[in-house]
């Protein structure tokens, strides 16, 4: 008979670490999806997910069972991704000289006729990826959670551990930062 999550967690806390495996199996796809939003290289993604699971195992004692295990785990995943972004801050690219030809074409199409530039084009996806990579860790996290994943400010506060007013301030700053980056692209390419 399949054991419930609560039973598995209780078994792990009693010292049966093998009971942790079904949890890893069940939630790894979601953790991988989260990590892939913040890291590009496969090795980095795997490092993040590995860290999330090791942290989850070490801190399982702090899981009180009031909220679903998945929420607790996703909080840990988001915070680990934020730590990763902060750790790799220096690798952020600041110039737009490396914009690929399709991205440039898409931008030109957008400048010519904004309504006709399809957002489902691969070039648009590449462009938003490179814009996100140029944001500060805080801005990237907020834009990702608020604008792309469409989460509420309260949810973001819970996920990140920031207060609601801090999320709002950071969201305001992040939008400004993103606009500044886009303005720089426009200046670099069209002025």
Partner 1 sequence: MKLAELQQKLTAAARLQPPDERVPYAFEKRIMALIAERAAASGRVLWMRGFLRAAVSCLALALVCGAVSLFTPAATDNGNDLSQDFENTLLASADLPDSAP
How many angstroms separate the CA atoms of 122 and 140, rounded? 20
Contact flag: residue 62 with partner 1 (CB under 8 A): no
Contact flag: residue 57 with partner 1 (CB under 8 A): yes
DSSP 118: -
Q: 38 with 85: CB under 8 angstroms?
A: yes
Q: Select the residue interacting with partner 1 from 1, 14, 18, 41 (CB under 8 A).
A: 18
Comparing CB distances to partner 1, the nearer of 67 and 186 is: 186
Q: Select the residue interacting with partner 1 from 5, 10, 11, 37 (CB under 8 A).
A: 37
Comparing CB distances to partner 1, the nearer of 97 and 116 is: 116
Comparing CB distances to partner 1, the nearer of 29 and 61 is: 29
Q: List the structure tokens of 31.
A: 């953790």
Quote the least distance from Cβ 181 to partner 1, whole Å. 10
């Amino acid at each position: 008979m399949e054991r419930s999550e609560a039973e598995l967690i209780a078994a792990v806390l009693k010292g049966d670490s093998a009971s942790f495996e079904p949890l890893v199996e069940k939630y790894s796809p979601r953790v991988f999806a989260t990590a892939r939003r913040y890291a590009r290289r496969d090795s980095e993604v795997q490092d993040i997910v590995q860290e999330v699971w090791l942290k989850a195992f070490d801190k399982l004692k702090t899981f009180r069972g009031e909220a679903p295990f998945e929420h607790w785990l996703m909080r840990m995943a988001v915070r680990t991704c934020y730590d990763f972004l902060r750790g790799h801050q220096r690798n952020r690219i600041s110039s737009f000289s490396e914009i690929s030809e399709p991205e440039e074409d898409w931008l030109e199409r957008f400048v010519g006729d904004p309504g006709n530039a399809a957002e489902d084009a691969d070039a648009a996806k590449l462009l938003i990826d490179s814009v996100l990579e140029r944001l500060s860790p805080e801005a990237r996290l907020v834009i990702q959670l608020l604008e792309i994943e469409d989460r509420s400010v309260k949810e973001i506060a819970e996920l990140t551990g920031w207060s609601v007013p801090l999320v709002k301030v950071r969201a305001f700053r992040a939008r400004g930062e993103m606009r500044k980056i886009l303005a720089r692209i426009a200046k670099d390419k069209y002025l």
